[in-house]
Structure 1
Amino acid sequence: MIQPFIRNHQFNVVKKQTNLLQTACNTVSDPRVVDAVRSSTVAKIIEAFPHAKELELLSLTKLSALKKTEEFQHYLHALEAQMMEWTPVTAAQIKKLFPKVKKLKLPDLTSYDYRYLTYLGWTDVAANRMFLLYRQDEQLIGIEGRMTPVHKKGVCFLCNRHAEVALFSAVTKFKPANASPDYYKAIGNYMCVSSEACNSHIADVTALEKFIGVVMGK
């Protein structure tokens, strides 16, 4: 039996590529075009799993033989059972990550399906603050920043989707040598206001991990 091995952002890749192939099978009459789409989708899914084992790759590449809508649906449903759960957090863990935040607003931790999280994010609109939790190398990292609404759609730096965004600015913990005691530098990026929507589309964690590294001074 295959142990869960699919992270949320990887499942988003699989889901997108599966939908592309399903659409091609349903709408394109030229079999050569369908075959080209099939090859491309399978290659992109394999690329998203650089450390996959043989049985895991066999499970993923079953897509290459699918043609009917119900077959694609069954394929995705079967892979959902192999998704890794983002380890749940407690209110105490979150408070420990943000000890300087008075009257910390906590998210409803019972409302999440942790399989579908790459990061946990929430906002405190009244305080214009945004919070982000991410697990990296088994370590839980918390980032707090200012949320500046832009009242228009833009491209989220995490999921690359055109959506309602806000400017998320966090102060980096890195200080250059000989910096003055009051030195600080804020790092800002446009990010989805809805972390739920962002998590359902994010397909790569490179930008997220780079941002965290800069803010944490790594």
Structure 2
Amino acid sequence: MNAFIRVDQYHFIKDQAHNLLNGHMTSNDSSVTQALKSITYEKVLALFTELTNEQDQLISQVQQVHDETDAILYFSRLKQYVVPFPELTEDHIKELFPKIKKLNVPSLVDIAWSETSYISWNDPGANRKYIVTYIDGKLEGIIGHYHPSRQKSICTICHDYEKVGLFTSTIGGSLNEGTISRGNYICHDSNKCNQNLKSKNNLKKFVQHMQG
């Protein structure tokens, strides 16, 4: 069986499995836990437009998560079928930002590609943040001014409550508008954000909004 689960789908399934696990821990009512199992499976199944019998069998095993051991084993099986983020080279990334003469690309060696929906890094010296991802199969890169916040808030990309910063990009508007600045609060730690990201649609909307 080939890989068929996107990274964000994998994190969504993990989140649903943990919810089911919490349900088993807090309720002894079999009718309640059975209903929760059915709801969990339906939510996970809704992620996919079409599944083979073999793929469906794997996905349906989310209903069998009763304790931490079950969860660990299930996540291990799932991860074998996650479609990883296509590995990039430093040259690939530099091509996305041709106007930046001295681009400090972070090390790509230790990136967990099977847990990554986008790559991002901070450049504190220039107050910048870079984001690289695939949108509809095309590699996209955006750059913005970045100012960390002292307070936690909801991240625009992952929609979780985390330490964030204001990401602002400037795009060219119409002749009458001139340039337009757009800003959103996003996670300071992109690794944490990737772990929280359960719908790539949120990432897609953010990138498209920043690009104008």
What's the TM-score, normalizing by structure 1?
0.90
- Assess, with a 3 A threshold, how the Cα gap between structure 1 residues 163 and 46 changes in structure 2: closer, same or farther: same
Q: CA RMSD in A?
A: 1.7
Q: Are 1:192 and 2:198 counterparts?
A: no
The correspondence of residues 70-85 of structure 1 with structure 2, limited to 5 A, is: 70-85=69-84
For 1:187 and 1:48, locate their aligned partners in 2 and report how far apart those are by CA, in whole Å: 31
Unpaired stretches in structure 2, ≥5 consecutive residues: none
- Counterpart of 2:122 in structure 1 is 123
Letter of the 1:126 counterpart: G
Structure 2 CA distance for aligned equivalents of residues 108 and 166 of structure 1: 22
Counterpart code for 2:180? K
Residue 66 of structure 1: how far off its partner (Å): 4.1
Following the alignment from structure 1 to structure 2, what is the Cα–Cα distance between the partners of residues 105 and 111? 16
CA contact (8 A) 1:172 1:214 kept: no
The aligned amino acid for 2:166 is L
Determine which of 198, 212, 215 is the counterpart of 2:210: 215
User: Deviations 1:46-101 (Å, cap 9, x if unpaired)?
Assistant: 12223434422221012224434423321111001111110011111111110111
Alignment correspondent of 2:135: 136
Alignment of 1:46-195 (within 5 A): 46-173=45-172, 175-176=173-174, 179=175, 183-195=178-190
The 2-side partners of 1:192 and 1:64 are apart by: 32
How many percent identity over aligned positions?
27
Q: What letter is aligned with 1:162?
A: Y
Q: Distance in 2 between matches of 1:111 and 1:42?
A: 33
Q: With structure 2 as the length reference, what TM-score do the two structures score?
A: 0.93
Structure 1 gap ranges (5+): none
The CA deviation at 1:9 is 0.7
Alpha-carbon separation, structure 2, partners of 1:143 and 1:95 = 12
How many equivalent pairs are there? Answer: 212
SS of match in other structure, 2:179: coil
Write the deviation string for residues 123-152 of structure 1: whole angstroms up to 9, x where unpaired: 101110000001123211000001012211
